[in-house]
Copies of this chain bind each other. A is one copy, B any other.
Amino acid sequence: MKSIAIVGSGAIGGFYGAMLARAGEDVRFLMRADLDTVRRNGLRVLAPFGEFRIEHPRVAADPAALGPVDLVIVAWKTTSNPELARVLPPLLHERTVVLTLQNGLGAEEEIAALVGAERTLGGLCFIGINRTAPGVIANPVEGTLTLGEFRRPAGERVRTLAETFQRAGVLASVTDNLDEARWQKLVWNVPFSGLAIAAGGITTDRILADPGLAQLARDLMAEVLAGAAAVGHAIPDSYADYQMGRTPPLGAYRPSSLIDWAEGRAVEVESIWGEPVRRAAAVGQTLPRIEALYFLLRALTAQRQART
């Protein structure tokens, strides 16, 4: 890659952008809230392997000031995607590739509709990361990045991109089935992020300590598997066992959606809960518990938006 633009330079975008910049890539950051601070103080990352700062990153609030570039990484929340139609065009030349690192289902489709399916890539971030202050990103848990093509097996392009991330110190891997990987990630996200919000703003240990919520988490996982199977992905039951089993060691963990909710920010209700329900329904599979949770979360978040 010759040049990279990061769209949405919060925790995820700021972290991966800073890692790539630190490795010498030409990274440019589209940001709004932290723009002045980052211009003044640079972009600071507190990682397990140590701390570093990108001193004078190229930052702007206007995409025309950053592009066109060879690679766009979309890293803001899916709730901001309606802005992509405005933000992406100035970042594109004829061969620009767009990688979404967003949660849930549907982001690749939104991007493909704007730039074409053949230029669309997706990635899943399994990582603990927070923006702790303007321009400061804490990455307490080293994680992995899974990259894939939109509706195609991975090819040379994705492998080259994974190598770029690996050279930058990111544990990147490649999947031939991005859509299945997205459904797999939902196996944990749908129950634990959803119940954390709907059951009153509670951490994952309290979900597990409540027998009803723990059973509901299990049943929600089973519905994610049923939805995945309905659209053609055979995720084994043992994967749900694994996801349940890895949760107790997380302790009083706050899923990122709960943090968004608790801090009054938008929650990715459509991509995490709405889209799996719609995709399963499109092939005749009802996911009743996920749908109920989706409708409740949609109502709860809509009420908050109405108040603010």
Contact = CB atoms under 8 A, between A and B. Distances in A.
A299 to B, nearest CB: 4
A212 interface: yes
A200 B292 contact: no
Chain A interface mostly: helix
Interface string A196-208: 0011101000000
Interface bin, chain A: 20 to 34
A291 B199 contact: no
A303 B200 contact: yes
A299 B210 contact: yes
A216 interface: yes
Contacts of A300: 199-200
A199 B299 contact: yes
A298 interface: yes
A156 B199 CA distance: 48
Nearest to A214: B295
B289 A212 contact: no
Contact of A303 (B202, B215, B299): B202
Nearest to A199: B299
A200 B295 CA distance: 12
A61 interface: no
A275 interface: no
A198 B194 CA distance: 13
A138 interface: no
Which of A215, A216, A293, A294 gathers most chain B CB within 10 Å?
A: A216
Interface of A: 195, 198-200, 202, 210, 212-213, 215-216, 219, 288-289, 291-296, 298-300, 302-303
19 contacts: A195-B296, A198-B296, A199-B300, A199-B303, A200-B303, A202-B299, A210-B299, A212-B295, A213-B295, A213-B299, A215-B295, A216-B295, A216-B296, A219-B288, A219-B292, A288-B289, A289-B289, A289-B291, A289-B292
